[in-house]
Amino acid sequence: MVTDDEGVQRRVLNVVMEKMSAFPLTATPPEMARVIHQIIREVTGSDDPYRLVKERSNEKALQLYPKMKELVGTSGNPLLVSCKLATAGNSIDFGVPSSSFRDYHSLIECALSSPFKVDHYGEFVGCLSHGSSVLYLGDNAGEIVFDRVFIEEIRAFKDIDVIFVVRGSPIINDATHEDAMYVGMEKVAKIMSNGSDYPGTVLRSCSKRVQELFQSADIIIAKGQGNYESIDGDRGNLFHLFKVKCSVVASQLKVDLNDMVFMDRVGWGSQ
């Protein structure tokens, strides 16, 4: 994606393999990915290798926005439908050239008809009914359009403050402040950078303000598997929303690959 120069590609591989040998066994995938992508940026001289992928993702997702709003508006349960759409967004890779809008619609339809295999949606609605603030930890570009639809329904369900958190600088195809502004997220939530370049939420690397909000928000929605893998420690009303994309996580949660999860972290731990 960044260079056709095989010499540069080889240098990237050499440095990555050298660094990988020193990774501790306790390192999470987001922690490893951060190091790997730092190497890619440094060796190739590209500060944002996924820029074009993110731009295409945002553009294609925005084209689907009217269809998603129609699906939500004609449903009997707009909040649940928008929640499942947000989960569908976690599974779609808009950067894949062979994908088509028909594939996207098929994935959306599949998500709407599929149950959450870990299902704490009811607990979430209960928390939302009594809460006054939501901290929404975003994931990828393109996907954040689906998050916007969900946030719109959260605020239609209850007049509540929502802060949407993005990465502090480019890392893989994770959403940054620029991406959030492009899809109109500022219309429904306050956008805040976490000050970090991890492809997840490693709290010790986040800004002091985000760390404070993580402790004080009434509800946290942590979107995507990267946030599930990287958030350390438990607190109440922390909900993970994602599609399971690797066998390790599937085994841990006792679900199958591609299953949808809406999980109360503390609630799951007590089971």
Sheet holding 133-137, edge to edge: 116-119, 260-264, 238-243, 219-223, 133-137, 161-166, 190-193
- Looking at the structure, tell me whether residues 138 and 56 fall in a common domain: yes
Q: Per the domain annotation, does 1 fall within a domain? A: no
Could you identify the residue written with the tokens 């149950």? 115
- Looking at the structure, tell me whether residues 23 and 89 fall in a common domain: no
Q: Which residues fall within 8 angstroms of residue 187, CB to CB, at 6 or more apart?
A: none
238-247 contacts at long range (C-beta below 8 A, 24 or more positions apart): 238/264, 238/265, 238/266, 239/120, 239/123, 239/124, 239/263, 239/264, 239/265, 240/265, 241/83, 241/86, 241/87, 241/90, 242/87, 242/90, 242/139, 243/87, 243/90, 243/91, 244/117, 245/91
Per-residue pLDDT tens digits of the chain, which is 271 residues long: 889 999 999 999 999 999 999 999 888 889 999 999 999 999 999 999 999 999 999 999 999 999 999 999 999 999 999 999 999 998 765 544 545 555 767 778 888 889 999 999 999 999 999 999 999 999 999 999 999 999 999 999 999 999 999 999 999 999 999 999 999 999 999 999 999 999 999 999 999 999 999 999 999 999 999 999 999 867 889 999 999 988 999 999 999 998 999 999 886 654 5
Q: What is the CATH number of the domain that holds 183?
A: 3.40.50.10880
The answer to whether 203 and 218 have CB atoms below 8 angstroms apart is no
Residues of the domain holding 34: 6-44
- Looking at the structure, tell me whether residues 30 and 76 fall in a common domain: no
Structure tokens that stand for 3 in this block: 């260079």
Q: Which residues fall within 8 angstroms of residue 220, CB to CB, at 6 or more apart?
A: 134, 135, 136, 137, 214, 235, 237, 238, 239
Structurally, the chain folds into a number of domains equal to: 2
The answer to whether 65 and 145 have CB atoms below 8 angstroms apart is yes
Angle between helices 143-157 and 121-130 (to 10 degrees): 50
- Looking at the structure, tell me whether residues 132 and 257 fall in a common domain: yes
- Looking at the structure, tell me whether residues 138 and 224 fall in a common domain: yes
- Looking at the structure, tell me whether residues 241 and 221 fall in a common domain: yes
Rounded to the nearest angstrom, the gap between the alpha carbon of residue 14 and the centroid of all alpha carbons in its chain is: 30
- Looking at the structure, tell me whether residues 241 and 210 fall in a common domain: yes
Q: Longest C-alpha distance within the chain, in Å?
A: 58
